[in-house]
Chains A and B, each alone.
Chain A
Amino acid sequence: MSFFIEVDYSQYFKEGQSIGGDVFLLSKGEERDRIICTLSDGLGSGVKANVLANLTAHMAQKYAAGTTDMVKSAEIIMNTLPVCRERKISYSTFTILRMENLKSDKVRASIVEYDNPGFLLIRDGACLCPEKTRHELKRPGAFKDENLFHTELELEAGDRIIFFTDGITQAGLGTKQLPLGWRAGNVKRYILELLNNRRETSAYELASAVTAKARALDIYKAKDDITCASVYIRKPRRLIVSTGPPIDESRDEKLVKAIADFDGRKVIAGGTTAQIYSRITGKKLKVALSDCDGDLPPCASMEGVDLVTEGMLTLNRIAGHLEKRISLNELPRNSAGQFLKLLLESDQVRFLVGTKINDAHQDPSIPFEIGIRRSIIGRIVKALEENYLKETELEFI
């Protein structure tokens, strides 16, 4: 696959609510070449809104994954959703985005929108206005004309799609500075300026910058649920994680060559593995006492490798954090935190796992925390794929 499609979102709930009426869902098709994401905003906030938005988002997600036409699916969802008795408006709005990663260096995207602020398509630092097809719905009991907008796009490397709920466009509403709220035009200008300052901004960084700004405009007390989703099409960032010595010493050179020749960032997790690399390449290993929090062994530095850590304890901790879906802004300040940062900032992770067994780890007096390397790596791979939609490769040596 030639491109990596990075999708992420950031969200704040309305001040005082512990559950949100904005729901964002993300999934990958079975063949991993199709990505579907849905952002739904339920009427109001809190539990009722959450149930409605969840209902909508899950329906949308399932329909878009199937073979049904996107517009047809959206119509079915609309007809299923009730209309609020008092306000005569629909209970939830949505944006459904389906992307297909084609082999021919193109990503085909299809977007269906109902009543959310319009999505932004950004290419080469400018916001494009693709043509949208309008589909009018005629539901009995609706208070106003209801329109679905459908857009078909061909995306290129560097393209971004950003969509959000009205918590963003209406942020700051009623304040002296912004009596009418932030408004779509200003959101667009803010995003373009952000990207002009830093072209490589990740999908997550962009989404969280937008939500943070919206929350600030609401004077740090969100008046509505605030959600921004962001898609970034780009060349994949690659990372290799080497852990454990090869089963046979004769393969040491092969291991070192695999790490040295890798095009991307590099992590060695394991003392022995690092020593092998150091011995064969002649690069010096330096351990820093300052990185140690007493809970996990400290990390080390070595020329040509981005991070060197201890093996099993650190990996075990990482598996736990990934399973709990830790995010980039809550990383611990230790070797696991540095390791996680590299993992989360990569799109494709290759694990090179040595299969030699360390006799010392088999002693019954050693705590249980040191599991079997393969099973811990298995947990990490599963969490990276399922919770973060990363692409992984696993090789035993």
Chain B
Amino acid sequence: MEKIIVEICTGTACFVMGSGKLLALADSLPSELRDKVEIQPVLCCELCRDWANSKPPVVRVAGKLIAGADEEQILHAIGEKLRGESVC
């Protein structure tokens, strides 16, 4: 199975709004997810111009955008993706 890619924006706005802490997910992921998920920092998603619709920090889980992301939302999205794939 291909890994689920979690892209974390590390642009200025996203970083100060908390994406720096989200990068630590690479170490703190629950063990059952370790082999299934890859955390990738991204320089800047350039979504910060559209503040209203993409509040920082911005994260993409398997391409799906999460604005104002926190750890819980990311884990939730990973879970959803995993379940979605197991059904197919």
Where the two chains meet, the residues of A that have a C-beta atom closer than 8 Å to any C-beta of B are: 271-272, 274-275, 285, 287-289, 292, 294-298, 300, 308, 310-313, 358-361, 363, 365-367, 369-370
Contacts and interface: CB of A to CB of B under 8 A. Distances in A.
Interface in B31-87: 39-44, 46, 48-49, 51, 56
16 contacts: A271-B10, A271-B44, A272-B46, A275-B43, A275-B46, A287-B10, A287-B42, A289-B41, A292-B23, A296-B15, A297-B41, A310-B15, A311-B12, A360-B12, A360-B49, A369-B16
Nearest to B48: A360
Given A272-B44, A289-B40, 9 more contacts: A275-B43, A275-B44, A294-B24, A297-B10, A297-B12, A358-B13, A358-B49, A360-B49, A366-B17
A366 B41 CA distance: 20
Nearest to A313: B12
Contacts of A292: 10, 20, 23, 41
A313 B12 CA distance: 7
B49 A287 contact: no
Contacts of B46: 271-272, 275
Interface residues on B, range: 20 to 34
B29 interface: no
B49 A359 contact: yes
B21 interface: yes
B87 to A, nearest CB: 31
Contacts of A359: 48-49, 51
Contact of B20 (A274, A294, A311): A294
Interface string B14-28: 011100110110100
Contacts of A287: 10, 40-43
A361 B23 CA distance: 21
B85 to A, nearest CB: 24
Contact of B39 (A272, A289, A363, A365): A289
Contacts, number: 85
A263 B15 CA distance: 32
Contacts of B12: 271, 297, 310-313, 358, 360-361, 370
A297 B15 contact: yes
A247 to B, nearest CB: 15
A296 B48 CA distance: 18
Nearest to B21: A294
> Which of B12, B16, B17, B24 has the largest number of chain A CB atoms within 10 A?
B12
A360 B10 contact: no
A360 B41 contact: no
Contact of A366 (B13, B39, B43): B13
A229 B43 CA distance: 42
A39 to B, nearest CB: 44
A378 to B, nearest CB: 18
Contacts of A360: 12-13, 48-49, 51, 56
A263 B78 CA distance: 46
A295 B16 CA distance: 10
Nearest to A359: B49
Nearest to A300: B43
B44 to A, nearest CB: 3
A361 B48 CA distance: 9
B16 A298 contact: no
A351 B87 CA distance: 54
A169 B46 CA distance: 59
A140 to B, nearest CB: 68
A378 B51 CA distance: 28
Contacts of A312: 12
B20 A295 contact: yes
Given A358-B48, A359-B49, A363-B51, A310 B16 contact: no
Top 8 nearest A-B pairs by Cβ distance?
Answer: A271-B44, A360-B48, A360-B13, A297-B10, A271-B43, A287-B41, A271-B11, A297-B15
A274 B56 CA distance: 19
A274 B48 contact: no
A11 to B, nearest CB: 37
A56 to B, nearest CB: 48
Contacts of B41: 287-289, 292, 297-298
A294 to B, nearest CB: 5
Contacts of B10: 271, 287, 292, 297-298, 310
